[in-house]
Each structure stands twice: as structure tokens, then as C-alpha cells.
């Protein structure tokens, strides 16, 4: 078994799991709510992909990709489900998808998290230069500067956000792209980091490691990545996104002491 992440337009992310059977390989996924569900099945003997979707907006995205896989598309109404069947060229399915993605304006690459592939728009990560991204990042050195972010676990300020796979995926991509800038700022601003010769991990290994919150007051989605600096201190990197557009508003980095029970 292996897991891939298929990311479509507007940062739509679906986690895909594959398992082999006698006549088929099944790829199934569920994004957050039950209505947003995709089922993809690849039948190597019959040479086609069967996609079950539960939202019309998904169909448009799939059709944009489907016209490059060619030959056959049909729908079979069943409750809220719609089925799209795509015949693929006589070549390995991964190779066919790579070529189709390229023609459709997507990019397909190895996933940074887990094993498998990511299909996503060419510019999922904000195309910001070093100067622009640096303006969005602040290293908070006092409680006053950190402010409400000290209370991410307090429901008075923030609500935990279940699922949030697309927000987690976007956070992982931004972290991966701009980690050297985070590292440079930490070394400059926080002596403890440079004294310990601490280097941030190269990438976030599991999306589940990213914590997600919602601020009703500011209409923001927040994601938090935690790293252990020592037995007594840890590093927080908090990403703040606008709720409607997932526009990256701010990144705050700070270090807190771990309270050890007496």
C-alpha cells in the first residue's frame, strides 16, 4: 500500500490510497466533509480509470484533466454521485498522468509528505521573493509580541479545526520552500538557536504533525508547526491565512519554555 496526495485547483487536496486486487487498483479519498468525496479506481486489465465524485465543481476540474486522457467520458447518476470514466493511452498510468498534467497546466511530482505523487497547479506555493516573504515573517521575542498566539489551545481565543488537509498541505509546501529564510531569521534573532547550532528539519514529514485552528474574531485559519529545541524549549511557527481565500497573511516564529511538572 502507498499513499499519494492529489491536489487540484484552488488548493483542493485529496489523500489517495491504493490497494491491489485481482482486476483493479482502487484509489479512494475523502476531503473533510462527506459531500467532498472522490473515488478513483484504475483497472489495468481494462485500461481505464473510474472516478466517482460528489460535487459538480469537481467534475469541471476532472474534465479539464480528462480531455488529455481522451477517448471516453460518461456519467451515471446515482443519488448525488456522478461517475466519470476515462480511457487512458496504452502506457503506464503514472506516465500517462504525468503527460496529461503537463498539457493541462498542472505539475506532477513526488510528494514531500508520505510516499507517492502530488498533482497541483504550477504555483501552489505563493511566488514570493526573499524580500516579500521576509516582510510576512516576524520573530516574536516577548509575550507582548506573541500576543494571542500564546493561547492557541484556549477555546476562548481559537477553535480547533478538524481535517483542514488543504491548509496543512499548503503549510508544508510553504515551510519546505522558505525554510532557509526561517533558519536565517532564527539564528539572527534568537541567540539560543545559534548557541545550540540548531537547524530546522528539512521538511515536515507528516501532515498530521501540523496543528490547525480557526479564529472567528479575525476570520483566519491558523496552522502551527512545533519543533523541540531542547528538553526545556520548543520552537513554534504559526501561519495565518485568510479564511475565504487562504491568502498567506503572516508567519510568526517564537520560542517557549516547556513547563515541567514538579
Q: Rounded to whole angstroms, how far apart are CA atoms 30 and 97?
A: 21
Query: What range defines the domain where residue 226 resides?
Result: 130-257
Cell of 227: 519543533
Total domains in the chain come to 2
Domain identity same for 115 and 156: no
Q: What is the pLDDT of residues 73-122, one digit of tens each?
A: 444 444 445 556 666 666 666 777 777 777 666 667 665 555 566 666 55
**Is 245 a member of any domain?**
yes
Q: Does residue 96 lie in a domain region?
A: yes
Phi and psi torsions of 231, nearest 5°: -70, -20
Determine which helix (DSSP H) or strand (DSSP E) holds 188, and give its type and residue range: helix 165-189
Over residues 8-19, the pLDDT tens digits come to 322 222 322 232
Cα 100 → chain centroid: 22
Q: What is the pLDDT of residue 226?
A: 92
- 3-state SS of the chain: helix, strand, coil percent to 5? 30, 35, 35
More confident of the two residues 34 and 63: 63
Report whether pLDDT(26) > 50.
no
Q: Is the pLDDT of residue 224 over 70?
A: yes
pLDDT at 136: 86
- With 50 as the cut, is the pLDDT of residue 225 above it? yes
Are 114 and 217 contained in the same domain?
Answer: no
User: pTM of this prediction?
Assistant: 0.54
Which residues neighbour 179 within 8 Å (Cβ) at sequence distance 6 or greater?
A: 200, 202, 203
Mean pLDDT value of segment 195-213: 88
Q: Which of 99, 121, 143 is the last residue of a domain?
A: 121
The pLDDT assigned to 111 comes to: 58
Mean pLDDT for the stretch of residues 27-50: 50
Domain membership of residue 262 (yes or no) is no
Residue that terminates a domain, selected from 77, 92, 121: 121
CB 171, CB 211: distance < 8 Å:
no
User: Are residues 143 and 252 both part of a single domain?
Assistant: yes
Clarify whether residues 253 and 151 are in a common domain: yes
- Rounded Cα distance between 254 and 76, Å, is 53
Amino acid at each position: 500500500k502507498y499513499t499519494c496526495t492529489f491536489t487540484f485547483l484552488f488548493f483542493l487536496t485529496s489523500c489517495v490510497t491504493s490497494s491491489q486486487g485481482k482486476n483493479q487498483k482502487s484509489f479512494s479519498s475523502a476531503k473533510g466533509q462527506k459531500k467532498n468525496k472522490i473515488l478513483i479506481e484504475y483497472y489495468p486489465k481494462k485500461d481505464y480509470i473510474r472516478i466517482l465524485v460528489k460535487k459538480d465543481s469537481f467534475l469541471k476540474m476532472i474534465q479539464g484533466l480528462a480531455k488529455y486522457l481522451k477517448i471516453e467520458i460518461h456519467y451515471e447518476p446515482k443519488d448525488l454521485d456522478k461517475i466519470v470514466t476515462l480511457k487512458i493511452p496504452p502506457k503506464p498510468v503514472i506516465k500517462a498522468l504525468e503527460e496529461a498534467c503537463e498539457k493541462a497546466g498542472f505539475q506532477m511530482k513526488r510528494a514531500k509528505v508520505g510516499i507517492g505523487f502530488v498533482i497541483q497547479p504550477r504555483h501552489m506555493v505563493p511566488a514570493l521573493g526573499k524580500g516579500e516573504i521576509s516582510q510576512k515573517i516576524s520573530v516574536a521575542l516577548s509575550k507582548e509580541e506573541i500576543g494571542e498566539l500564546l493561547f492557541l489551545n484556549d477555546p476562548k481565543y481559537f477553535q480547533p479545526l478538524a481535517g483542514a488537509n488543504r491548509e496543512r498541505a499548503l503549510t508544508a509546501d510553504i515551510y519546505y520552500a522558505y525554510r532557509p529564510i526561517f533558519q536565517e531569521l532564527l539564528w539572527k534573532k534568537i541567540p539560543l538557536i545559534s548557541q545550540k547550532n540548531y537547524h530546522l528539519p528539512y521538511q515536515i514529514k507528516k501532515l498530521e504533525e501540523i496543528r490547525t485552528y480557526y479564529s472567528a474574531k479575525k476570520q483566519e485559519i491558523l496552522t502551527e508547526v512545533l519543533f523541540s529545541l531542547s528538553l526545556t524549549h520548543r520552537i513554534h511557527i504559526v501561519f495565518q491565512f485568510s479564511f475565504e481565500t487562504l491568502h498567506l497573511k503572516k508567519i510568526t516564529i517564537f520560542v517557549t519554555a516547556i513547563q515541567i511538572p514538579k
